[in-house]
Amino acid sequence: MNFSQYKSEINNEGFAVIDAIYSQDEIDRIIKIIDSAHSDSATFRRSKDLFAIRQFLKVVPNVTELVFNQKLKDIVNTVFGEDYFPIKSIYFDKPGNSNWFVAYHQDLTISVNQKAEIENYGPWTVKQNQFAVQPPVEVLENIFTIRIHLDDTDENNGALKVIPKSHLKKIYRPETIDWNTETEATCNVPKGGVMIMKPLLLHSSARTVNNSNRRVIHIEFSNLQLPTQIKWAEKQTIN
């Protein structure tokens, strides 16, 4: 893998796609574990348009060793840094008949263990007993997100659309996008590949039109220590 190329793409464009991180056997085993997970937890959300598992690595721990295969660990250690660790994980299953779409946005919050009064941290939200807060922009700029694709994903089944370089503009409100100067890219990712992105990259997801599933494992990474009043809600050590 050309780690320096991927690192450059992420820093400059805000994202990169890397093929063939997982074999078909690894994907099958990951899906089998997910399908057998107990879905009575509050972190599970199911509707006709979406199935999601929040705190994915915590509530489905048997999947961790498969997810963090040697190729993924090499990416984290070399492209991000050896001191980076997971801070948030979600599993998304967008069914083949889904009409669910997401408009352009940045990922502006982090998951933490409790609410606290901290300068420059806010606003706060609570969703399914999970505290989230918008931190200073420097914290967001430090984060990398890996999206592991368990299905072939293109513009017909909800591949992310992004605005390259938008992560360099700090907080960028979608309603202020100037389409006379901005361009849009569709991030097609083959099964077993990953997309790496910066949370401040403006991104969206269209409806599915080809009856094909789009199953994705979303994991965020940081190497920062938070203020003493709060902790990362899902911090894990990966061997």
The CATH number assigned to the domain holding 150 equals 2.60.120.620
**142 near 187, Cβ under 8 Å?**
no
- 228 assigned to some structural domain: no
User: Domain residues for 123?
Assistant: 3-222
- 217 assigned to some structural domain: yes
- 231 assigned to some structural domain: no
- 43 assigned to some structural domain: yes
- 235 assigned to some structural domain: no
Tell me how many domains the chain contains: 1
- Local confidence pLDDT in tens for the 239 residues of the chain: 899 999 999 999 999 999 999 999 999 999 999 988 766 665 556 554 457 889 999 999 999 999 999 999 999 999 999 999 999 999 988 766 666 688 999 999 999 999 999 999 999 999 877 899 999 999 999 999 999 999 999 988 889 999 999 999 999 999 999 999 999 999 999 999 999 999 999 999 987 777 778 899 999 999 999 999 999 999 998 87
- 233 assigned to some structural domain: no
Quick one: CA torsion of 73, 77, 82, 88, rounded to 10 degrees? -60
